[in-house]
Amino acid sequence: MSASDGWFIAVAGYAILLAWPLSTVILVWFAVRYGGTHRAKVVNKALASGGGKPGYFWIIVPALNEEAVVANTVKAALGLRGPGGTLTRVLVVDDGSDDRTPEVLAAIDHDRLHVMRRELPHARQGKGEALNAAYRYIAHRSEQEGIPADRVVLGIIDGDGQGSDNILVEVGRLMGDTKVGAVQVQVRIRNRNKLLGAVQDLEFGAIVDACQNMRDALNTVGLGGNGQFSRLSTLISLGTAPWSNCLVEDMELGLRMHLQGVSIRYTSRASVTQQAVVDILRLTRQRTRWAQGNLQCARYLGSLFASGNIARTSLVEILHYLVSPWINAIVAVLLSLSGTVGALGLMIGHPLPILPTWWALGASVGIWAAVTTFPGLVWVLVHRAKRADESMSRMLLAALAYPAFLLLGLTATYRALGRQLSGKQAWAKTERLVEEPLALQTA
């Protein structure tokens, strides 16, 4: 390798490394520019008639061994009101729980609570199958009651989820546009008093929020496992099983909707809170499952390219979302190998052209440290400006821990690849933390 080749590689490496903080600046612009939802004039015009506004809401709570949290989740869901004071019905899918979940649910006496108990061997076939069973029940019941499918909305709130008081009103407002088939609300973390919880709230409350605002502008919003709302008519158009056995069934559902030309909106004017995973091993396991699910969704790349319903700019963003985790993993390995080989070369007296001195190696390490620390500090400012519900000291600590959080994500990516190649698909569910009980609203 010549010196000129070495410098070309060095420049290319720094360009890749610096692309991350530059992309952070772009996302921060979206985070600041779009306060909740974008395209105000277009949206208000589409909502003026209110022709698509739903009148019936079902909250589906998939529950597998959720005795620690399901009572609070159900009570919070029963207290939600939609446009014009519309009350929601709650359908809990007990997917073969063998803990006290059935007893906890039986103790909640409410006429708008419906419990669907699934038994083995049909139970425990994945969250997607549990949601499909709930969807078919609601579709059949709506048909029996003579309710038009485009007037019914199904919301998914996980076993540890709690929606904000205005969540159904905001979803109903956005669905006043008849072209909107689904809405994703912002996700926040409740137990952010712990460091890992604060880091995850920095992720959801600032970074994911900015990404979704950008995707809202590009019409590429992704659905999350918690806080997703879909029209029944949209789900019916996807067949009898809208959700699949993909490990990120929510993300796949969103991709299928985009392929059909369905508009998905995002809002941070309403939110759903959930528990953070505050154990390192369990968090790594959770992120590995997400990464493996992302890898499974790569099978849609060909359909995305061939689709006539996705604009080119939107296609670029979706492809970036699907591919970037794996590019980041490759770049991280290359950078680590370069640093290791460079240090060994200096030790034996045969330095690499791109790292000719210890000073050059130290400068590279310093740049890497600055690049990995910078985004977290910027997102703390965004979080503070938009949320203003956490102390600066706690969020700064979260920002300093953010590079380690990213390293955990890279580890999860490598593990996901190994699991996918070895054909492993089974997963243990994430454990919940016990919380103070909520009061049941009877109105």
Q: Could you read off the pLDDT of 183-220 as tens digits, one per residue?
A: 999 999 999 999 999 999 999 999 999 889 989 988 99
Determine the average pLDDT of the residues in 243-251. 93
Predicted local distance difference test score (pLDDT) of residue 4 = 47
Task: State pLDDT tens for residues 167-180.
Answer: 999 999 999 999 99
Q: Which residue has the higher pLDDT, 364 or 214?
A: 214
The full length of the chain comes to 443
Specify the higher pLDDT residue, 360 or 331: 360
The reported pLDDT for the residue numbered 96 is 94
Q: Work out the mean pLDDT of the chain and round it to a whole number.
A: 86
Note the pLDDT of residue 32. Answer: 67
Q: Is the pLDDT of residue 1 over 50?
A: no
Least confident of 111-115, 132-136, 428-432: 428-432
pLDDT tens for residues 55-109? 899 999 999 999 999 999 999 999 998 887 777 899 999 999 999 999 999 999 9
pLDDT for res 50:
57
Please check whether residue 353 is in contact with residue 344, taking contact to mean a CB–CB distance below 8 angstroms.
no
Please check the confidence at residue 350 and state whether its pLDDT lies above 50: yes
Tell me the β-bridge partners of 61. Answer: 92
pLDDT category, 319, cuts 50, 70, 90?
Answer: confident
pLDDT at res. 443: 59
pLDDT beyond 90 at 312: no
Give the architecture (CATH level 2) of 30-277.
Alpha-Beta Complex (3.90)
Q: Give pLDDT tens digits for 38-58.
A: 555 555 655 555 577 888 999
Q: Give me the pLDDT at residue 442, please.
A: 62
Domain boundaries, the chain: 30-277
- pLDDT tens digits, one per residue of 369-416: 887 888 889 899 989 988 888 899 999 999 999 989 988 988 998 999
* CB-count exposure of residue 147 (10 Å: 0-12, 13-18, 19+): middle
pLDDT at 22 over 50: yes
Comparing CA positions, the residue from 154, 289, 266 lying closest to residue 219 is 266
Question: How far, in Å, are 65, 118, 280 from residue 428 at the CA level?
Answer: 11, 18, 15
Residue 209 and residue 35 in contact, taking contact as beta carbons nearer than 8 Å:
no
Any bridge partners for residue 229, and if so which? Answer: 155, 183
234 with 182: CB under 8 angstroms? yes
pLDDT confidence of 235, banded at 50, 70, 90? very high
Q: Residue 52: its pLDDT value, please?
A: 76
pLDDT at site 340: 86
Residue-wise DSSP of 409-432: HHHHHHHHHHHHHHT----PPPP-
The confidence score (pLDDT) of residue 17 equals: 53
Residue type for position 287: R
Specify the higher pLDDT residue, 416 or 434. 416
CA nearest to 93, candidates 149, 57, 56, 137: 137
Within 98-162, where are the H helices?
Answer: 101-106, 127-144
Q: Which two tokens stand for residue 122?
A: 């049909």
